[in-house]
Structure 1
């Protein structure tokens, strides 16, 4: 049996970054898919520490909170920078990703059509810090921090790819981010996962079939 189990809804959502990480690191995992109907019945929700998914199992260890899960995997696979300074920068990037993910989540789960125009207008301002960070690290030719991939790269990559679906062309004015998405998506094991039915057939956002 795989040592890892992801318990989540039938969507990419907050679990695709950890799936991408595991796939790229050559790991296997088990999926326990939770339907909306079973979630609304209540017992599973009541059993979750914070009353929400994802739930992640690593052997006997059970974790909640997607960013805590990513940090755990980052420590497990050496994806947390090469020293304390890089680890601090990785945390900073991941917090920036979380800020944008929350903005995006609010748009998707609430008044999508009414708010999308404003969201699209403000999106370049949210993307610019990541372009700046890339430009400051080996001219944007490597990763978001240092010279090795980190858990924050997977989280950022997932968010950027989701935005390419939500707002096509959103990276056109960010050449380093565009090249970054293409470069990381071409990593052999990650490319295979991104082409798999498991990824392709999962909707990006649970409440919208996009």
Structure 2
């Protein structure tokens, strides 16, 4: 089913990859199922980092928005379970768990135990800002947007500092190769540039980081595609 009738970024179905027509080709067919826009649990921004990772890594996937009347049945009755992600017969829920799974599977989770721990720490920091952003968007947008934007430099400074600690900010958030955290952070920074244009102007490392990651060929193509552009960022249309 096409997804243009649903709110939220990326709610369009990708064409079935060649594996669907020729199962002998050993390319994974990932599937993402997400909650419909009529639910307050619909947070499509949390899915975009997954799409960015898959696109950048050259992976194919299928997106499956649910009809609203099916969402109260069976496994889909629990709102906290979304998104649902399947890799063949394997099923996983929750955006950060999915990112970590894909990170492990595609070599995007650090080169040793110490880097893995640093990536977990960095992702927790990214998550803190995500939660503040979502609280603003879905609960206090009109009353608190101006104050949120005013306070944003205080929230971004730790990320700039963390980036600087790794090769002077000229590489990734941790280590010398891209990780699942980089996609999560990139998505968060891009949506804040929509919320508050110019918010990275006083953070040269974060600004260069966004430009550097966004220019990766596969990721650049995805960010310029109809799957990403021209669609509301959040389920309630606020951004």
Contact 1:50-1:64 within 8 A present in 2 as well: no
Partner residue in 1 for 2:112: 83
Runs of 5+ unmatched residues, structure 1: none
SS at match of 2:85: strand
C-alpha distance in structure 2 between counterparts of 1:105 and 1:81, whole Å: 28
**Residues matched between the structures, number:** 206
**1:153-168 counterparts in 2 under 5 A?**
153-168=182-197
Normalized per residue, the structure richer in helix is: 1
| Correspondence 1:130 to 2:162 | no
SS at match of 2:222: helix
Shift of 1:38: 3.9
| Correspondence 1:60 to 2:89 | yes
Partner residue in 2 for 1:5: 31
| TM-score between the two structures when normalised by the length of structure 1 | 0.92
Shift of 1:3: 1.6
Contact 2:137-2:238 within 8 A present in 1 as well: no
Instruction: Say which of 28, 34, 39 aligns to 2:66.
Output: 34
Q: Deviations over 1:97-125 (max 9, x none)?
A: 11110100000001201011221122111
Shift of 1:209: 4.8
SS at match of 1:200: coil
Alpha-carbon RMSD across the aligned residues, in angstroms, is 1.7
Partner residue in 2 for 1:191: 220
Contact 1:48-1:55 within 8 A present in 2 as well: no
Shift of 1:12: 3.9
Q: Deviations over 1:63-104 (max 9, x none)?
A: 111100000000000000111111111111111111110100
Question: Considering only CA atoms, is the larger Rg found in Structure 1 or Structure 2?
Answer: 2
Structure 1 residues 5 and 161, CA, compared in 2 at 3 Å: closer, same or farther? same
C-alpha distance in structure 2 between counterparts of 1:73 and 1:151, whole Å: 8
Structure 1 residues 49 and 141, CA, compared in 2 at 3 Å: closer, same or farther? farther
Partner residue in 2 for 1:47: 75
Q: Deviations over 1:173-194 (max 9, x none)?
A: 1000000000000000000000
Shift of 1:34: 3.2
